[in-house]
């Protein structure tokens, strides 16, 4: 019952989506298909990375960390929250560019987004989660674990699995077309 492992595992899936976003460049010449796959990937990032994952950090982990150590709130946690906001804005921009068929710009922006997301994940894996492990007792960790499970259940456990399957489909179509 390790809540941090849940977040690590979600990061691994998000990193997989990040690689997929980079691979999209291979099919940029097939405009319509490219646009379809960008929209599919945007849906994945919005649903999985933002709702299932960032919510766990924003609603549960970060507030609990801030309660345990006030100094963290204005430091690394603030930075992570700002990153999440920037990611939402970048996704909106990628969506607009793709809708307007400015595909080179969309891919540039997408790569900018996934680079920033990769850095963000590295900071969480190497710093934030390491700090979290030192802050909470076993009992508190257990509580966090169940709150994470509750959030997943609220959003839908089945939907979470479906989203990872959708990511696999996007990956496959890029491989086939690229």
Contact 140, 4 (CB under 8 A): no
Q: Measured from the CB atom, is 30 or 88 closer to Fe ion?
A: 88
Cβ at position 159, least distance to Fe ion in Å:
19
Contact 171, 20 (CB under 8 A): yes
Element (H, E) at 157: helix 157-177
Q: Measured from the CB atom, is 14 or 42 closer to Fe ion?
A: 14
Q: Measured from the CB atom, is 57 or 160 closer to Fe ion?
A: 57
Q: Measured from the CB atom, is 21 or 57 closer to Fe ion?
A: 57
Cβ at position 27, least distance to Fe ion in Å:
28
Cβ at position 169, least distance to Fe ion in Å:
24
Question: Residue numbers of the site for Fe ion (CB under 5 A)?
Answer: 57, 124
Cα 106 to its chain centre, rounded Å, is 18
Question: What is the DSSP-derived secondary structure letter of residue 156?
Answer: -
Residue 95 CB partners (closer than 8 Å, separation 6+): 39, 42
Cβ at position 60, least distance to Fe ion in Å:
12
Helix ranges, 45-156 (H): 55, 62-68, 70-72, 78-99, 103-123, 129-135, 138-155
């Amino acid at each position: 019952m390790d809540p941090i492992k849940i977040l690590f595992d979600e990061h691994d899936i998000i990193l997989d989506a990040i690689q997929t976003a980079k691979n999209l460049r291979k099919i940029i010449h097939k405009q319509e298909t490219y646009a379809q796959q960008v929209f599919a990937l945007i849906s994945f990032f919005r649903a999985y990375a933002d709702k299932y994952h960032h919510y766990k950090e924003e609603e549960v982990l970060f507030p609990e960390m801030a309660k345990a150590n006030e100094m963290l709130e204005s430091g690394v946690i603030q930075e992570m929250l700002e990153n999440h906001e920037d990611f939402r804005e970048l996704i909106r921009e990628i969506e607009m560019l793709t809708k307007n068929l400015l595909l080179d710009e969309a891919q540039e922006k997408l790569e900018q987004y996934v680079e920033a997301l990769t850095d963000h994940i590295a900071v969480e894996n190497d710093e934030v989660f390491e700090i979290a492990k030192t802050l909470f007792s076993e009992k508190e960790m257990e509580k966090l674990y169940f709150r994470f499970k509750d959030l997943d259940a609220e959003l839908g456990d089945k939907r979470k699995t479906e989203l990872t399957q959708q990511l696999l489909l996007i990956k496959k179509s890029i491989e086939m077309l690229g």
